[in-house]
A and B are shown apart, each in its own frame.
Chain A
Amino acid sequence: MAASALANTLCRNPTPFFLCPHLSQVSAPRTKIKIKSKCRPRILTKSNSILATYAVLSDPFVLQIAETLEDSVSSPLPTSSPPSPLKKLRDMSSESLLSHSWPSRKDEPFRFTDTSFIKGSQILPIGSPPHESSLLSILADTQLPSLVIADGYIVNSLSEFPALPDGVFVGSLSNLSSEAAMKRVLEFLSNFEGDLFWSLNGVGAQDLIVVYVPEGCRIESPIYLRYLSIEGSEDASNELPMSNPRVLVLLEKGGEVDIIEEYLSGDGSKCYWTNSVLEAVIGEGATLNHSYVQSQSLAAAHIKWTSVRQESDSTYKLVEVSSGGKLSRHNVHVQQAGPDTVTELSTLHLSISDQTQDLHSKLILDHPRGYSRQLHKCIVAHSQGQAVFDGNFRVSRYAQQTDASQLTRSLLLVPRATVNVKPNLQIVADDVKCSHGAAISDLEDSQLFYFRARGIDLEMARKALIFSFGAEVINSFTYAPLREKAKSHIAELLNPKFAASSL
């Protein structure tokens, strides 16, 4: 009886166990027994001695999620085995998962981001695509051709694309016929070690969406990926349906493409967890314009990874506007793989209810003459709203003549609104131009007065200024209809907030 009680404690609260290694001697046998009974048959494929070590070090809660994820992806028909890259991804992810524990506030990357909301819920991976009829109402406003991804599954019947140039592929990995492209996919798939959520996505990804742009190919119209979250539970039910969309973008030498990612939800108050990953490999001299709009349900968890590898002379531009989710976190990792790269990251986060908006970005410069600009803006308009920013530039010893700048600006519109920003530069090279800055404030009195002196009342002035604060990022969207849509969406979200914030 006592033993099972202890096992339960460990299960619910694994972190202390991890932080105190000496305890493992005592608790290991009990934990082992628990894991053995639940997880061993499915995940552990290596030799027993290694597994024993993993099992001791692994977090039971993580293993439990992994197990349910594996259940959900195992195909109902034993005949259809997953394509080899997907299998490789799952295997790699299962393995790396074993070395991760569920993050706590004591882990530096999650110091300000409380994930207990997810942990406290019962996670139910979504094992089947949603019914098409439920999608139609959400997509009614679409005029743009797009690829629809509902709960991590491609919905082919609703997806349409303008004629793509020869050799370009957009779609599910299972439809990828080109040998060369497949080879490249295998080469670059998951060539980066992310955190726990990265690995969970790898284990739970139902499909791999591939965007392949061959050498020298320039695509005029944007590739529009619309992610819908249909399945969701009621707020109080404590269940968290989870989807794991995964995209790989491969741009060969000289290719150029605009990718728009838009995350939508069917119902504004549904509870679900989208754990998404996008990997991009940008070849020599290629350009990727990445637009990312996240407007999910305000009760949802949204965790997203964007990992980018930039070859020499390549350009990566990210513009992000995130306003949804109870917990929303975007991890951006940009790795420079050659000299003369251009990287521009612009993000706008809005916290208009009791939500957390988090951006963790890391740019690693290992080659000379990289140019990078980062602008992060966030607006917190709720007393329990929070924004988190951790922006890191690492300029290694070889990255001479790097020109990098980073700026974060936050608007706190109500008392007790919180923002935690950590802009940081790690510079080893000695011939570089690097700057960073952070500003946290309410609206400027001098600007407000300028409006008022021209007869514009305070409320309207605040509205215009808050909107203009965000417009700097929104205006960087390369695709005009998206820009307009984002503007009206932000205006709509902020509208009811002005009355409260104008005090």
Chain B
Amino acid sequence: MAAAIQVATLHQLSRPTTAALFTLPSAPKDGIFTASTHKLMPSGSAGLGSNRQRFRRLCLRSVTASVAAIDYPMSRYRHDEDGKVLLEVKDLTAVIAESQQRILNGVNLTVHEGEVHAIMGKNGSGKSTFAKVLSGHPDYEVTGGTVAFKGENLLDMEPEERSLAGIFMSFQSPVEIPGVSNADFLNMAYNARQRKLGQPELGPIEFFTYVYSKLDLVNMKTDFLNRNVNEGFSGGERKRNEILQLAVLGAELAILDEIDSGLDVDALQDVAKAVNGLLSPQNSVLIITHYQRLLEYIKPSYIHIMENGRIFDCKLGRVQQLTLRRYLLQKFTMPVGRITSTNGFHVLLK
């Protein structure tokens, strides 16, 4: 019942043009959602079959593609249908290498150049696994599906090749590497990239000058570079360090895995500012987060919801769809606005 009311709310809030999408022929405009409410109950009787069909049509019409996303009106880099496809994930399934436990159950996602995507979802829904699979983590085994990055098969690449191809994953909990200084580590990674690009490598001193200019971006002091990678770093410092690496190395697709967890407001703003500073019409970002607050600073083009190893998808059926809507309302205190049909579950927030 509650779910239905929410949908009705959505409907009332939506613009007339969009509302038309939901208006099915031969149904009284005011009655349709009430009717479908009954239908959605598991105990709904067979006699209401025609309404069920109507609802299905609504689903099919309004949600055609495979991606569930929420559009921000203020998004800086809006989805551009004509933009080049950067990452295309199709029906990706993956298991934990050791236990063969299935984590990803067919993920579909398309990221164009210049887009900011956010993936949200409960603990254990597979968000981080998805990020790790994209970066080539050896703990996971891909069992099916395809991933194309800039038209190339990503799954054939070694982790370092993926990085050099332009994917950067910031770790949720970066490991400590005692004995390797931050500056050396960055220099090593930077030179690996320069080699790949056929450009001259930088010696320690030249590199220091280069990296020094990036320090302000993450609001860190110089001694940060002399410390060992992540050793004794606080939670905030680790996350800043990940962003510093992103700033130094650059990436066409940055996957930020819970970059906001464990950060206070100031650190969160610093990190968000740094990420925004790195965005360009060519660079895309995939943000994985539990919290809306990060999305207040980094405006995504799309928000995807992940559950049970899949990105929410109209094919999941209406019950899940309603769960999604409820989830969105709970997650975002701001009301969910327009639902468009252009690219999947394309929900507009007001």
Assuming the contacts A445-B138, A453-B163, A454-B249, asked whether A460 and B178 have C-beta atoms less than 8 A apart, the reply is no
- Is the C-beta of A105 less than 8 angstroms from some C-beta in chain B? no
Are B192 and A447 in contact, with the CB atoms below 8 A? no
Assuming the contacts A447-B175, A449-B138, A455-B192, asked whether A465 and B164 have C-beta atoms less than 8 A apart, the reply is no
Assuming the contacts A447-B177, A468-B178, A472-B179, asked whether A454 and B189 have C-beta atoms less than 8 A apart, the reply is yes
A449 to B158, CA, bound (A): 11
What band does the interface of chain B fall in when counting residues whose beta carbon is under 8 Å from A? 20 to 34
- Is the C-beta of A500 less than 8 angstroms from some C-beta in chain B? no
- Is the C-beta of B215 less than 8 angstroms from some C-beta in chain A? no
Are B175 and A446 in contact, with the CB atoms below 8 A? yes
Are A455 and B196 in contact, with the CB atoms below 8 A? yes
Give the chain B neighbours of A447 by CB distance below 8 A: 175, 177
- In the assembled complex, how far is the CB of residue B243 from the closest CB belonging to chain A, in whole angstroms? 13
Are A452 and B158 in contact, with the CB atoms below 8 A? yes
- Identify the closest chain A residue to B173 (Cβ): A446
- Total residue contacts A-B, CB cutoff 8 A: 74
A450 to B136, CA, bound (A): 11
A446 to B196, CA, bound (A): 24
- Is the C-beta of A187 less than 8 angstroms from some C-beta in chain B? no
Q: Label chain A's interface by main secondary structure.
A: helix
**Residue-wise interface mask of B (175-190) relative to A, using a CB-CB cutoff of 8 A (1 in contact, 0 not):** 1011110001100110
- Identify the closest chain A residue to B165 (Cβ): A455
CB contact between A469 and one of B179, B228, B245 (< 8 Å): that residue:
B179
Which A residues, 441 to 465, have Cβ-Cβ distances below 8 Å to chain B?
Answer: 444-447, 449-458, 460, 464-465
- Is the C-beta of B304 less than 8 angstroms from some C-beta in chain A? no
Are B196 and A465 in contact, with the CB atoms below 8 A? no
A175 to B303, CA, bound (A): 84
Give the chain A neighbours of B178 by CB distance below 8 A: 468, 472
A447 to B171, CA, bound (A): 12
Give the chain B neighbours of A18 by CB distance below 8 A: none
- In the assembled complex, how far is the CB of residue B255 from the closest CB belonging to chain A, in whole angstroms? 10
- Is the C-beta of B160 less than 8 angstroms from some C-beta in chain A? yes
- Is the C-beta of A471 less than 8 angstroms from some C-beta in chain B? yes
Give the chain B neighbours of A456 by CB distance below 8 A: 160, 188-189, 192
- Is the C-beta of B174 less than 8 angstroms from some C-beta in chain A? yes
- Identify the closest chain B residue to A450 (Cβ): B175
- Is the C-beta of A467 less than 8 angstroms from some C-beta in chain B? yes
A97 to B222, CA, bound (A): 59
A467 to B193, CA, bound (A): 22
Are A455 and B160 in contact, with the CB atoms below 8 A? yes
- In the assembled complex, how far is the CB of residue B211 from the closest CB belonging to chain A, in whole angstroms? 14
- Identify the closest chain B residue to A475 (Cβ): B179
A450 to B158, CA, bound (A): 13
New A-B pairs, 8, CB < 8 Å, besides A451-B188, A460-B192, A465-B179: A452-B163, A453-B135, A456-B192, A458-B158, A464-B188, A465-B177, A468-B228, A471-B179
The 6 A-B pairs at the shortest CB distance, nearest first, are namely A468-B179, A455-B163, A452-B159, A454-B189, A471-B179, A468-B180
A: which residues have CB within 8 A of B?
444-447, 449-458, 460, 464-465, 467-472, 475
B: which residues have CB within 8 A of A?
135-138, 158-160, 163-164, 169, 171, 174-175, 177-180, 184-185, 188-189, 192-193, 196, 228-229, 245, 249
